[in-house]
């Protein structure tokens, strides 16, 4: 284990690295964001990762969903992804759940963190409601074209987001990996006990000149009751 995680141990020490083995997270969605987030975190030493997705691999998924190959077409995404995580690291227990989030949440599994890797506002609101009910932090991520959003929710909620049912206008694969990388970094910092700015919405995009712009917005505190 020391050899496998040598570079991370150099970064934050053995105690923090060992602590990750006791962590349990769920990644909701095994598509573009889910693949990249899971690969990043699955080889980082997190003990248990639930991959939650009832969808199956289609050819048009593969260019941006980096866990899949052409021969994986028609297989369950969560099963293919969890198998890959176990092949890449002997130190992760990757568990596929071929259900939707509502069914998964009914299992009441104790989690340290939930990561949203969906493309559905309704499901994100379900995640938000469940996270508030169980006092579980969660990380939101979305991507379209050459822009994306990321937020680590703790004391804010998802109520300020408009409920618009919209099909994405296209997605660039590297942008998917960029947003997933930010989600994974926030997750790792949190899980090893490092400082993380929460309840801030990060908006990242390339402008017409090809410059990467990052904006951030403080979200209001959730009002309950």
Domains, the chain, ranges and CATH? 6-218 (3.40.50.720)
pLDDT at 43: 94
The position carrying tokens 């618009």 is 164
**What pTM value is reported for the model?**
0.94
Dihedral over Cα of 60, 30, 127, 41: its sign? negative
CA distance 183 to 126: 19
Q: Please report how many Cα atoms fall inside a 13 Å half-sphere around the Cα of residue 191, on the Cβ side.
A: 30
Share of the chain above pLDDT 90, in %: 85
More confident residue, 170 or 140: 140
Q: Are 81 and 67 in contact (CB under 8 A)?
A: yes
Helix (H) or strand (E) run with residue 51 in it? strand 48-52
- pLDDT of residue 140 exceeding 60, the answer is yes
Q: How many CB atoms lie under 10 A from the CB of residue 115?
A: 30
What order of strands is seen across the sheet that includes strand 93-97? 93-97, 48-52, 24-28, 113-116, 138-144, 147-153, 200-206, 212-218
Structure tokens at 155: 């004391």
Is the per-residue pLDDT at 71 higher than 80? yes
- Using CA atoms, how far residue 113 sits from 1, 35, 51, 211, in Å, is 23, 17, 13, 32
- Write down the H helix ranges in the chain: 6-19, 32-42, 77-88, 101-105, 121-134, 173-191
Q: What is the pLDDT of residue 224?
A: 55
Please write the tens of the pLDDT for every residue from 144-201: 889 999 999 998 888 767 655 556 678 888 999 999 999 999 999 999 999 999 999 9
Q: What is the β-pairing status of strands 147-153 and 200-206?
A: antiparallel
């Amino acid at each position: 284990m020391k050899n496998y995680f040598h570079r991370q141990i150099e970064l934050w020490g053995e105690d923090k690295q060992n602590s990750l083995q006791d962590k349990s997270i769920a990644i909701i969605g095994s598509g573009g964001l889910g693949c990249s987030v899971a690969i990043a975190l699955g080889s980082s030493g997190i003990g248990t990762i639930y991959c939650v997705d009832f969808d199956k691999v289609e050819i048009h998924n593969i260019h941006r969903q980096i866990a899949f190959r052409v021969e994986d077409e028609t297989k369950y995404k969560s099963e293919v992804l969890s198998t890959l995580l176990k092949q890449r690291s002997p130190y992760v227990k990757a568990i596929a759940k071929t259900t939707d989030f509502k069914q998964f949440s009914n299992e009441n599994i104790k989690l340290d963190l939930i990561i949203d890797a969906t493309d559905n506002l309704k499901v994100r609101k379900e995640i938000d409601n469940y996270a508030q009910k169980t006092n579980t932090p969660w990380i939101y991520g979305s991507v379209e074209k050459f822009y994306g959003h990321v937020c680590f929710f703790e004391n804010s909620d998802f109520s300020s987001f408009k409920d618009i049912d919209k099909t994405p206008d296209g997605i660039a694969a590297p942008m998917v990996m960029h947003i997933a990388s930010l989600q994974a970094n926030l997750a790792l910092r949190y899980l090893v006990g490092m400082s993380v700015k929460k309840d801030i919405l990060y908006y990242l995009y390339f402008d017409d000149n090809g410059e990467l712009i990052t904006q951030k917005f403080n979200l209001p505190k959730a009002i309950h009751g």
